[in-house]
Amino acid sequence: MTCTELFVCCICLQTQTLAHDSRMDIDNYQLDDEAVLYYTGLKSYNAFIDVLASLGSAAYCLNYLYSTPTLSVKNQFFLTLIRLRRYKPHFELSRDFDISLTEVSNIITTWVRWIAGFLLRLWFNLTICPNNLVLRIS
């Protein structure tokens, strides 16, 4: 291998490494609570993990509109929260997470529909009154 070929290989590897490192990943923010708050509205990485855990195992078994996404469930949730809080365009999210526009749309649509259903079921369960409860309205 000549020096020129070796140099070109090094540049290619360096470019691939930089491209991979620039991909958004919630795990990159484990020690950056300020960024987690900015992107998600949650006070810390641990709060993010707790909220995801509170959604239960169903969050890991979603029925997607299209094919199953390549992103981890943690990063799908992260992407969805960024979209809801920061209102980043799909194009920007696709570049940030290094996925296609179709995958961004698939993730956001699936997660927003599922979260809405989850919250409706939760709200419905909290607002059901027992039959023997007397409500006084003044």
8 Å CB contact between 86 and 39: yes
Q: For the chain, give every domain's residue range.
A: 24-127
- Residue scoring higher pLDDT (37 or 18): 37
Is pLDDT above 60 for 137?
no
Is pLDDT above 90 for 122?
no
Write the pLDDT tens digit of every residue in 60-99: 999 998 899 999 999 999 999 999 999 999 999 999 999 9
The Cα–Cα gap between 77 and 12 comes to: 32
Q: What is the pTM of this model?
A: 0.74
